[in-house]
Every structure is written in C-alpha cells, then in structure tokens.
Structure 1
Amino acid sequence: MIRRRQKTKTQKSPLRFRLNLLFFIAFLLLAILVAQLGYLQIVYGNKFESQIEQTDKTVVTGNVPRGMVYDAQGRTLVGNSSENAITYTKSINVKSNEMLATAEKLTKYLTVPSTILQQQDIVDYFLADNNYYKKVVAKLPKSQKYDSEGNDLSASKVYKNVSQYVAKHRDLTLTTEQKEVATLYKKMSGAFQLSTVYLKDDGVTEDEIAQVGEHLSELPGVGVGTNWTRNYPSGSILTSILGTVTTEKQGLPADSLTSMLKTGYSRNDRVGNSYLEKEYESILRGTKSQTQVTVNNDNQVLSEVTQYAGSKGGNLNLTIDSKYQTAVENALKSQFAAAKEAGYTGYSDGAYAIAMDPKTGAIKAMAGIRNDPETNKVTDDALGNINRTFVMGSIVKPATVLGAFMDGVITPDDNTLPDDAIYLPASPIKKSWYPAGTFKTMTAQRALAISSNTYMMHLAMLESNAKYTPNKYIKMNDNIFEKLRDQYQRFGLGYKTGIDLPGEIDGYLGSTTNEYNAIKYGSALDESYGNYDAYTLIQVAQYASTVANGGYRMQPYIVDSIQKTTKSGEKGAVIYQHTPEILNRVDFTNAQLKVVKQGMYDAVNGNDPFMTASALRGMAQKVAAKTGTAQSFYYDQNNPDNTNPPATITHSFIGYAPANDPKVVVAVVMPNFTSDSKSTYSLALAKTMFQDYFKMEGTN
C-alpha cells in the first residue's frame, strides 16, 4: 500500500523576525519618551515655563551733583547749574542698526550740536547699516574673512578689515543731516551696556524736551533728564586754586584711570582734575545713585526701580574770605602795574602774596600773577605760591639770628659783632646795602632793623669757626651749609609745608661744592643773609608765622570744614572740622625771641634813619616786619647761550600785626625787577594787605 508523504511546515524568515523586533523596540522607546514628556509637562511644566520667562536684575549707578565750595563767610565760590538734558541708556546687546534707527528718528526732534567726527566715527556710522555691512563683507578677499585653516576670523578682526575697506574705497563726506545722526550714533555706541550718557546737555530748549518726551515710546533708550555744570558766582577769584572738573567727554584722567575704575568710577565720570577739586575729590563727588534694572531673556528692559537716590557731594568751607581775597588780588595787580608803568618789570616773571593766621595756619588770602617778559601778558597764578621758588634775600635774617642764639654763638645779652665788609680773593666785596665802614659794630637787634648783611656773615663765620684774612684767605668748617640749613629747616624753609593742595614743591638748595669739590665758602656767606637757596612763598609765610607765634610751626590749610548736603541742596551737618596742627616747636627761648621781634618792630617803628620798613609806620595796628632784596640775573630761555645776562633784584617782605599779639602774617615776593628798582611796591602791597585785613575784621 502506497502512503502519501505529509508536507512540511514552511519555516519563518529570520529577517522578518528581526524587523518585527526592531519595530517593537522602537515602539517601546517612543512610548517611554511620550510618557516622560507627559510626566515632565505635568510635574515640571510650570518650572520650565518660569525659566523661559526668567529675568535678570542688574544694579546701575548714576552720578549726583558735586559738593559746593564756600568762602569763610558762607559765600558760594563754586556751585552747580542744573540744565535740561537728553540722555541715552544703552540696553544689553542692542544692535548697531537699532541704535542707528533711534539716532535717525531723534534728529527729527533735536538740534544736534556740531562736533568733530574722526574718520573711524564716519566709517562706524556707515557700517551700522547691516545690509551695507554684509555687502562690504562679501567684497572682502577670503584672507580677510578666514584664517589659513579655513576657520572664520573673529568678528572684531573682520570688522577691522571691513572698516579699512570702507575708509579706502568710499567717499566719507557727510551731509549736515548725516553728521547729526553720526554724532548721536557715536555717543550711543560708545556707551557701556546699561550705562547712561548725555546726547545733548547744553542749550536744550523746552520745545526739544517736549518733542522728545512726546515720542519716547519710539525712541528706545532715550530719556529726558537733567545735567549739572560748575559755576562760579563770586567770579574769577581763586580760579587756579579751586581747580577744574573734567567733562563727560574727557572722563577719568589717564594717569589715574585704573585706580579710579577699581573704586567704582565709570570712564566718562566727571572728576576733579586739579587742585582743590582734585585734592577733595572723594568728598565732593558724593555717592552715586543705584537703580535696579530688570531685563528679560531677550535683553529687553522691563523695569527700572530706584533703590538709592544717591547722596550729593560734601561742601567745602574755606578759610579764605572772598572779599579780602579780591582786595589782595586787586592790590597785587595794581602795584605790579605801577611797577610796570615805571619800567621796572621788563624781566619780572610775576608777583605773589599770602596772608596767614600765625596761630592756626589758616590761609586768609593767596594771590599771584604770572608775567611773561617776552609778551608782557599777565595771568592768574595763585598756585605759584606753592610751586615756584625764589631766592628771597634778607627776610631769612631773623632765622639766622635765632639759629645763632640756639647754637650759643651769641646770647641776648652779648650779641655785638663787627660790621666789617668781607673781602675774599678774586671776588667782589661782600657788604651790606649801605657803604662799607658805615658802622664799626652791630647788635643783633639793630642788624635786623637796618638789614645788615655783614652782621649775618660774621654770624656764619662764628658758626663755622672761620679763619679769615681779608683778600687772602678764608676757611670754614665743612658743615657750614648743613648747619645753616638745619636752622632754616626748623622754620620750614626749603621743605614742603603740608598745605592741603596738590602740587606743592620743596625749595631749591644750591650746590655746596665747586667743580674742584671744594666747599663754596663765599656761597655759605651768601646763604647767611638769604642770597643763595630758593624757597616758595608758602614756606616763607609758614616761617614768618613761626616767629610771630612764638616758635610753633603750623601746617597751612585752606579747607576749614566739610559739611553734608541736605536733600534740598542746603548745607547740612558738619562732618569734618580742621584742627590746627603743630608740625614742630623751634626751641628758642623767650629772651632770644624778644631780641628778634624787637629788631623787626624797629624796622617799621624805630627812629634809626637806616630802618628798612618805615613805609608801614603809623598804622593803627602796629606792624613788625623784615624786608628783603636778593640779587639775581635774568636768563632768557630763548637765548640760553647769553653769557652776560642782565642783573635783577627780587624784593620780598614778611611781617605780622598787631606786633604785640599777631593775628595775621603777610608775605610778599616780587621777583626779577630791574636792578635800579626799589622796594616801594612790595611795601605798598604789604601795607594795603594789613589795612584791608583789619578793616575786614573791624579793628582798623
């Protein structure tokens, strides 16, 4: 029997199985992903949404008005003028074309002041148009867009190459309208992110304020505000001492840029640039306002909230009475003009005067003028009192006598010396202003009253144990210069006084040896009567005050106190009151000082026909004084090879009054008058300064 063979089952394809498996896995992963997304949406949806809408808060600072400067009577010397201003606050990552569009719209409502645009400013203006920028980039060779490996160059390098291309290939001439837009764009693009700059802060009209204010919604970042500038209600007095403030364009001084940035300044901040404004910058600047700016993820400013309105700068109250200062300045100019009219100032480079309270160091007036002998132009130079030195002449003689007293070479009861002229080999005779041989002997008191040079030289010879034979030989101890200068230094001569103004200099001390390294004995004799080393007038005023007050070297100062400024702009609480500072005590005795003071009193009020300051006799407040003349030469800087410079004389003066209880010291110097001039002008100036001071005090 024949059986049929059963058919076998067809086997499943391995490929189909694998495909099904892959589909299953893909479906499973998709299901997991959908489940995870759903989970995240349900559980964390609000959190992610808040992150998307997340904002950033930044604190932006703003400037406040500077403090004021007042004189001793409360009169405003330096104030602030508030003016309308159009401002611009730069948003984060704002685009160039957006700023350009804003600038173009703003010129419709604002007259833009003309300014000088540099070539790069004009190029930047053209490139602010994105379409134009792209066209220029397309024209650049590949080497200016990509590096050697084909990578894109940095945006800054590409921009530099584009700028150079435009400067070379495009006409950079602008129309009037384009210049206005370019000017605004320059100020906008130059601002830091979230910082505010002034687009126009001078001469903004009410109509411009109204026009801009009405269209602020279409001018992103533009605002209407106020700006302040320094004003001087009392006029031009003390201008060189008060100093200046930089403009917003000048910003921080280059020499202190880094340090000021570290202390919270911005580059365009206006700061004190010289003298009082600079010295008291930390007080006058005030404390900046703080505004919290909220920015979203698109770098759009959502809100601005003032956290701290800022604090106006502190006010300075000076020791100087502006009316007295004006009187001193006028008297100084008047006497110098009179000397010029008489033909005595052809080589003079100015005149200077100081009035000082000897008991405190407070400066009551400080005036100066600078004269250009070439052009005869006269300018204000009150600062010459602290940064110019002069050989002062005989006004140093009281210090020479007191030094000799303290060294014990003379005493109050035994101070009579020969008044013989000094004759050195191959040198002109060294004598006093009166004829040699006029007096055989001289006392310290009379030597000061009639200004004997020979007496001071004999003191120096005693100080140095000199061995001297007329016309043949002189030998002094090698430390003679050191000894004399040590005496003068105790009074402050030759060294900074510490006045609260920047720029003060030391004196100028002449060389002590010649080209053969030998001590210059003749110059040491000149030193003894003030005809060698050079000092500033503020040093002289400090020295005279030390004599007047009984030996206390006081630190001069010009700022008496500092006050806060109230919200209404008035003077508030005193936060600093200057305390007079004694720098050192010169240890002469009352008996020694009495001799010197009597000699200075006699110079004005005595009966000796040779007394040198009788022009001040007869004043209601008795004056004690010492005059000085120093011989020098005029050296023309434009003719340095001149081997025969003309001889000149510097006239100087120190004095105090009342003589029995000094309240004011006056110091004057008029350098490089012609050799035939007299001390008439310096004495007349000093007399006027004393009279005006006591008239101001109500005691004249």
Structure 2
Amino acid sequence: MNFLQNNNHKSDRKAAETPIRMKIILGVIFILFAMLIGQLAYLQLIYGSRFHSEVQKTDDTVVTSAVPRGIMYDDKGRVLVGNKANNAITYTKGSSVTSKQIYNISTALSQYITISNEKPTALQLAAYYLGNSRNYAKEYAKLPKSQKYDSDGNELSNSTVYSTLEKQVIKNKRHYTSREKTAALIFNKISGAYSLSTIYIKNQNLTDKEVALVGEHLSELPGVGIGTDWERTYPNGSSIKTIIGSVSSEKAGLPSEKLQYYLAQGYSRNDRVGTSYLEKEYEALLKGSKTESKLTTKSNGKVTQTKTVYKGQAGASLILTLDSKYQAKVQKKLKSVYSSALSAGAAHYSSGAFAIALDPNTGAIKAVAGLDHNVKTNKITDDALGIINQSFVMGSVVKGAQVAGGLINKVITPSSNTLPDTPIYLPGTPVKKSVYPIGTFSSLDAETALEVSSNIYMMQLTLRWLNAKYTPKTYIHMPSDAFDILRRNFAMFGLGQKTGIDLPGEISGIQGKSYNSSGQLLSGSVLDESYGNYDAYTPIQLAQYISTIANGGYRMQPYLVQSVGQTNSSGTKVSINYSKTPNVQFRIPWTSSELNVIKTGMYRVVHGTNAWGTAHTLKSVKPSISGKTGTAQTFYYDASASKKKNSSSDPIELINATFVGFAPSNKPKLAVVVVFPGLDPNLEGTYTLQVAKEMVEDYFKLNKYAEN
C-alpha cells in the first residue's frame, strides 16, 4: 500500500515539472520570434527604400563598336582600297543572359533571316537542340545511371553530363530544318559573345526584306538591332592585295599570336585587324577610333537603353606612291612576258618573276609586281611581296658597285683604269673567265668592262684591291677579311642590307660561306663575289642600288606611303595630316668624275657599239635608258626525284637573268629592276629587257614626258 502511494507521488511531481520546461522553451521561442519580427520591422521601416532602390538600380556600361577602316589611294587620288557599307543584324549581349533566353532569341530570329554562307557543325546543332529545356530533359532521361552517377553514387558534374548529352544527340543524327540550322548558327554566335559586347549576327547578303522583318519585331528580340558593317573593296583590281595585305574577318578576330598585345591596345577579341603588309604595318592609323555607346542595364542584366556618346572616327587615309594605271601595265607586261617564257620552255623550273619601278631621287615606289610559279602544278599566282622576302644571286648587275669600290679606294682612277683581260686560273678548279671567248680582248678600261660585262675585269680589280698574291694554276692568297672588304662596299649601295621599306617581313638576303670547314678563306668564292655570283640579294635591294647610281650617290629609303590624311564624310576630299620626307640613308663618297665612269659604262651597255654589249635592244627606247644586265648560275633540285626509282636527282643547271636601269640617262626620273630567276641557260632570251622596255615607255607616256 505504501509502495503504491509513493509511486503516485513521483508521477505527480513529474507531471508538474513537464509544463514548467515547456513554458521555458516556448518562452525562449517567443522571444526569438519577437526579436526577428522586430528586426524585420526595423529594416523595413529604416532601410526599406534603400533596398528597393538597389533592386531597381541600373548600371551604365560603355561599349565600343568598329568604324570604317581607312581608305588607300594611289598617287593620283584613285581609290586602291575602299570600304563598302553593308546592312547588318547585330546583337548586344546582356550581363546575365541565360541559355534558355539565347535559345528563344535564336529561334525567333531564325524566322526572319537566313544564314546560307555558313554551315553549322554537328556540335553547334547539338548545342542549339539542348538549349531547349524540354529537349535537354528528354535526352537526360535516356541516359543510363552509369552516365549520371559515379561508382560511389555521387552525381557527375554538369559539364560531364552535358558533354555526354552532346555526343548522344550527335550520334542520333537528328534531321534539322534549314531554319533550325540558321538558329543553331545564331545560338553559337550569341553564346560565344562576351557580356555587354556587340556582335554581328549577319553582315553579308542581308536582304531588304530581312531588314524589314527584323525591324518590325525588334521589341520581341531583346538585344537584337540593325546596324552597319564594312568590307574592303578594290576598285582598281585585287592583284594589288599582295602588297596592300589582308584584314582578318570578324569570325577570325584578333590573331592568336598577338592576342594579348591587341587586347592591351583596347581591341575586342572579334575586332578585325590588318594581318599582313600595308594593312598590318599601318594598323594603328587605319583602324580609326571606335564608336562609344552607353548601355543601361537593370540589376537582372537586361539592357534597357543604348545611347551613343561618341560617334567615333573612321581610320586615317593612306596616299600611296603607286600609280594604279602604271601598276596595272607593269603587272600585265610581266605576266605576258613570263607566260611567253613558259611557252618557250625557258621558265619550266623558274620560281617566278619580279619587276619594280621607283623614283630614284626620292625612293617612292611607282609600281611593283611579282609572280610565283609552282613548278609542280605550273600554276602562277601574284607575289609582289617577293621583292622584299625572296633573294637571288643576281649576277653582273652589281658590277657598277664593284667598279665604284675600286675607284673610291683608289685602286683605279677615272683616267687610269685599264686592266689586263687575263682569265684567272686556280688550282683544281675550272678557269674563271667572261662569257666571251678568251683572247677576245687583251685589256679593258672600266667603261668597256661594264659594257661587255667582263667578269675578268672585276676579278683583276679585286686582286689589286685586296693586294692578293696570285700565281696562275699554282697559288692564291688573300687577306682573311677579303669578304668583309667587298661586302662593306656593296652594303654602301644597300646590297645585302634591309632597305627599311615600309612593309613587314623584309629580309637582308643570304651571305655565302666565307670559310671552309678547315677555317680557310674561300678565295675562289671571293672572286665570284666580285662579279655578283655568290651572295644573294632581294629585288628591292637592287632597286635601291641602281637608284643610288642614278641620283648621284644618295642611298634613298624606298617607301610606299607618301602621306596620311583623313577622308571627309562624303568621300570627296582628303585632308593631309602628314607627308613623308625622303630619307637619305647614306652618301657614296665618290667624286663626280668617278661616278661618271660608272654612268658612262651603263650608258654604253645600251647605246654602245661593241658587239659584246648586252642590252643594245633597248637603244631605241625613248627616253634613253642606261643600265646593266646580269646572269648568275643557279640550280634546281627536285627532292621528289630522289625518292623515285630510276629517276635522276642530279641538280638541273639554270640561270638567274636580271636587269637594272634608269631613264632618262642624263637626268634620271625612273629606276627599274627586272628579275627572272631560274631560266634555262640555253633559252635565256631577252625576257628581262622586254619587260624593262615597256616599263620605261609606259611610265613616260602616262606622265607625258618628252625627252629634249
């Protein structure tokens, strides 16, 4: 009985204690809720307006867009490179655009435009298809569990799953309509765009109907707009592009190798830039100043307003030294003569041909043409840039510089320059002689040596110049710096040196070896060097060399851009801001009588009476020409022949044919260079002279010059 009473008292105490605990807990909860409600009320009353403004706040961001690229004119004001304005559909990407929104915009826009000049890849089509959330869910449901979870049952990353879905869609080879293909291209363009950047959705072959349709539905296409794009045009022919160069497409954008450089200069990744030659060399001027627009965006990333704050300025205009009409004639003649050389079998192994015309008094280039010949396919393409990035052993055209060196260093003088015309006999090598038979002349003066292109004279001059010790067929000794002495002399005229022409990619030529493997001077090659049969020079170096002789001894820097200006909005007038000042790089330290020896010799090359004269076919050209011809031995190696059975891989002997000249002979206003490398020595012909003849005649006809 007492036991039952005791148990009842314990139960009563426990029942009494439980409500007290609950009351405490409920009290604490009540206090916490009260504090929370109080804090919320405080925030709402005190900071409510601030939070509301934050939600509604807009951000202003300045974005840029391209302006028309600078125009290039010839020296007569004719447009060489212009711009054609095209309507374009643009898209400005918000800061927080979702894949679903991109899908919707792409699908909607594909109803109004068609992109037919591009084909979407399978990956692009799959990305567009999966941009639809329903399609994504359907494809996701098809995946086996092993492609959703790893071996531990954890979900795979979204990127891994998405990549698997792309492969699955591609594998299914789903059929896409033409509209879906256009939408896929649009989806890819927008997806790849950077936030708050403007891109072109379609900027080629946009029809008036497409512009009208898009314009009517702009309110349904957030971010889409109608704008203007520009593309390069060549009113006077596109062959000049080999000098002018190219501009990257918007799709290609900035070249990867200079990406960081351009980005640091304020470019966007999809900006078009000059990628070669003049377009690249003068990129900073041609690009202009971009248009700046202020984009107003809400906190959700939606663009609410676009306002132009700076209209930008079109790129600067370049006025080139080229005469487009003369340029066209030079190109046409070079192609015509080279084609005839091919037809005659003379140029079968030739790599091409080159021609340059320039003002010797300033260095301004008037025309430049080049051809590249593919020996395997026989295809000919324009290659004007070969004048600065290809070099050849040029032969006797450089003999004027060699005679000049002898005169300047007092080895010979204007009144005493006769040397014996005796061949050079070195041990173990064929006799070194001129083209004409041994014994034709017993001795020659400098003027006649130039007229008949005597190799012997140049070698005899070199032996005296270098104080060489020579015993025929037995012994020859030259100073160790023999090559340096001759090369320094040639370098005064620009031979073997970069000329500094305003084009990227110029090379300095190729120097032959000075010593053999035992460290001994290649003395026989020193003699070859003296008459242009060893080191290789570029055609532009020949142009600088002959101009230096023509103008009396001033080595002028050749150039293509003579002035920079700004074209007005109507395209009718150019305001010049900068004009090129001709640059004298070196003054040849000769006397007028020493120069006269060389000019007389070059005049006689064309107008002389000696039967061994080399350019008498130009005697009738008006105004009169002075110049120098050249030939140099070269070889063609057929690498593929050695891989074929029963095929000879022996080198094929060829010659490089060259001509340099100036006109009029008394007061030169034009210097010309023609190079035909790799001709058949048995079919050399007069190809270089044919080109040079018309280059001179055409120039002075166009410029209405009459020789007194």
TM-score range, shorter chain: over 0.9
* Cα distance in 2 for residues equivalent to 1:492 and 1:114: 49
Name the aligned partner's letter for residue 125 of structure 1.
Y
The 1:129–1:24 alpha-carbon spacing in structure 2 relative to 1, beyond 3 Å, is closer
**Is 391-400 or 256-265 further displaced after alignment?**
256-265
Tell whether 2:73 aligns with 1:67: no
Cα contact 2:615–2:629 (8 A) shared by 1: yes
* Cα distance in 1 for residues equivalent to 2:253 and 2:345: 46
**Which residue does 2:263 correspond to in 1?**
261
Task: Specify which of 108, 114, 119 is matched with residue 116 of structure 1.
Answer: 119
SS in 2 for 1:332: helix
Alignment of 1:482-493 (within 5 A): 482-493=484-495
* Cα distance in 2 for residues equivalent to 1:631 and 1:32: 101
**Is 149-158 or 589-598 further displaced after alignment?**
149-158
**Which residue does 1:480 correspond to in 2?**
482
Deviation at 1:323, TM superposition (A): 0.6
Name the aligned partner's letter for residue 673 of structure 1.
L
Cα contact 1:552–1:583 (8 A) shared by 2: yes
* Cα distance in 2 for residues equivalent to 1:643 and 1:208: 61
Alignment of 1:676-687 (within 5 A): 676-687=682-693
* Cα distance in 1 for residues equivalent to 2:527 and 2:468: 11
SS in 2 for 1:676: helix
Deviation at 1:326, TM superposition (A): 0.9
* Cα distance in 2 for residues equivalent to 1:370 and 1:114: 30
SS in 2 for 1:228: strand
* Cα distance in 1 for residues equivalent to 2:278 and 2:160: 44
**Which residue does 2:397 correspond to in 1?**
395
Tell whether 2:99 aligns with 1:100: no
* Cα distance in 2 for residues equivalent to 1:375 and 1:93: 54
**Which residue does 2:454 correspond to in 1?**
452
* Cα distance in 2 for residues equivalent to 1:562 and 1:419: 54
Tell whether 2:669 aligns with 1:667: no
Name the aligned partner's letter for residue 92 of structure 1.
S
Cα contact 2:346–2:684 (8 A) shared by 1: no
Deviation at 1:542, TM superposition (A): 0.6
**Which residue does 1:693 correspond to in 2?**
699
* Cα distance in 2 for residues equivalent to 1:146 and 1:585: 80
Cα contact 1:114–1:180 (8 A) shared by 2: no
Deviation at 1:685, TM superposition (A): 1.4
Name the aligned partner's letter for residue 121 of structure 1.
Q
**Which residue does 2:10 correspond to in 1?**
none
**Which residue does 2:650 correspond to in 1?**
644
SS in 1 for 2:491: helix
Alignment of 1:562-577 (within 5 A): 562-577=564-579
**Is 192-201 or 312-321 further displaced after alignment?**
192-201
Alignment of 1:112-261 (within 5 A): 112-113=115-116, 115-137=118-140, 154-168=157-171, 170-261=172-263
* Cα distance in 1 for residues equivalent to 2:341 and 2:637: 20
**Alpha carbon RMSD of aligned pairs, Å?**
2.6
Deviations, residues 51-78 of structure 1 (Å, cap 9, x unaligned): 1211111111111111111111110111
SS in 2 for 1:574: strand
Name the aligned partner's letter for residue 354 of structure 1.
I
* Cα distance in 2 for residues equivalent to 1:488 and 1:563: 37
Name the aligned partner's letter for residue 676 of structure 1.
N
**Is 565-574 or 106-115 further displaced after alignment?**
565-574
SS in 1 for 2:505: coil
* Cα distance in 2 for residues equivalent to 1:190 and 1:650: 52
**Which residue does 1:10 correspond to in 2?**
none
The 1:352–1:120 alpha-carbon spacing in structure 2 relative to 1, beyond 3 Å, is same
Cα contact 1:421–1:437 (8 A) shared by 2: no
* Cα distance in 1 for residues equivalent to 2:180 and 2:373: 47
* Cα distance in 1 for residues equivalent to 2:413 and 2:685: 31
Cα contact 1:283–1:314 (8 A) shared by 2: yes
Name the aligned partner's letter for residue 235 of structure 2.
P
The 1:618–1:24 alpha-carbon spacing in structure 2 relative to 1, beyond 3 Å, is same
The 1:216–1:688 alpha-carbon spacing in structure 2 relative to 1, beyond 3 Å, is same
**Which residue does 1:604 correspond to in 2?**
606
**Is 608-617 or 555-564 further displaced after alignment?**
608-617
* Cα distance in 2 for residues equivalent to 1:627 and 1:474: 29
**Which residue does 1:386 correspond to in 2?**
388
Deviations, residues 393-416 of structure 1 (Å, cap 9, x unaligned): 101101111112222322223221
* Cα distance in 1 for residues equivalent to 2:563 and 2:585: 20
* Cα distance in 1 for residues equivalent to 2:181 and 2:28: 69
SS in 2 for 1:500: coil
**Which residue does 1:368 correspond to in 2?**
370
Of all paired residues, the percent bearing the same amino acid is 49
**Which residue does 1:5 correspond to in 2?**
none
Deviations, residues 573-593 of structure 1 (Å, cap 9, x unaligned): 323211111222222232321
* Cα distance in 2 for residues equivalent to 1:165 and 1:329: 56
Task: Specify which of 77, 82, 86 is matched with residue 80 of structure 2.
Answer: 77
**Which residue does 1:88 correspond to in 2?**
91
* Cα distance in 1 for residues equivalent to 2:187 and 2:36: 51
Deviations, residues 269-316 of structure 1 (Å, cap 9, x unaligned): 222121111111111111111111111112111111111122111111
Deviation at 1:221, TM superposition (A): 2.1
SS in 1 for 2:682: coil
**Which residue does 2:536 correspond to in 1?**
534
Cα contact 1:123–1:172 (8 A) shared by 2: no
Cα contact 2:641–2:649 (8 A) shared by 1: no
The 1:172–1:29 alpha-carbon spacing in structure 2 relative to 1, beyond 3 Å, is closer
Deviation at 1:361, TM superposition (A): 1.0
Cα contact 1:350–1:670 (8 A) shared by 2: yes
Deviation at 1:512, TM superposition (A): 2.0
Task: Specify which of 337, 354, 357 is matched with residue 355 of structure 1.
Answer: 357
The 1:608–1:127 alpha-carbon spacing in structure 2 relative to 1, beyond 3 Å, is same
* Cα distance in 2 for residues equivalent to 1:502 and 1:97: 47
Name the aligned partner's letter for residue 699 of structure 1.
Y
* Cα distance in 2 for residues equivalent to 1:550 and 1:616: 23
Deviation at 1:686, TM superposition (A): 1.1
Task: Specify which of 519, 522, 545 is matched with residue 521 of structure 2.
Answer: 519
Deviation at 1:628, TM superposition (A): 0.9
TM-score with structure 1 length normalisation?
Answer: 0.92
Task: Specify which of 276, 279, 282 is matched with residue 280 of structure 1.
Answer: 282
Deviation at 1:144, TM superposition (A): 5.7
SS in 1 for 2:230: strand
* Cα distance in 1 for residues equivalent to 2:472 and 2:649: 30
**Which residue does 1:545 correspond to in 2?**
547
Cα contact 1:70–1:318 (8 A) shared by 2: yes
Cα contact 1:651–1:679 (8 A) shared by 2: no
**Is 575-584 or 130-139 further displaced after alignment?**
130-139
**Is 119-128 or 641-650 further displaced after alignment?**
641-650
* Cα distance in 1 for residues equivalent to 2:365 and 2:660: 15
The 1:574–1:114 alpha-carbon spacing in structure 2 relative to 1, beyond 3 Å, is closer
Deviations, residues 434-477 of structure 1 (Å, cap 9, x unaligned): 11111111111221122111000111111222222222322222
The 1:464–1:679 alpha-carbon spacing in structure 2 relative to 1, beyond 3 Å, is farther
SS in 2 for 1:255: helix
The 1:579–1:196 alpha-carbon spacing in structure 2 relative to 1, beyond 3 Å, is same
**Which residue does 2:11 correspond to in 1?**
none
Name the aligned partner's letter for residue 691 of structure 1.
E
Deviation at 1:251, TM superposition (A): 1.6
Deviation at 1:571, TM superposition (A): 4.4
SS in 1 for 2:294: strand
Tell whether 2:373 aligns with 1:340: no
Deviation at 1:192, TM superposition (A): 1.7
The 1:407–1:144 alpha-carbon spacing in structure 2 relative to 1, beyond 3 Å, is farther
The 1:45–1:372 alpha-carbon spacing in structure 2 relative to 1, beyond 3 Å, is closer
**Is 661-670 or 111-120 further displaced after alignment?**
111-120
Deviation at 1:134, TM superposition (A): 3.5
SS in 1 for 2:641: coil
The 1:670–1:578 alpha-carbon spacing in structure 2 relative to 1, beyond 3 Å, is same
**Which residue does 1:8 correspond to in 2?**
none
Deviations, residues 632-658 of structure 1 (Å, cap 9, x unaligned): 222224335845333222211111122
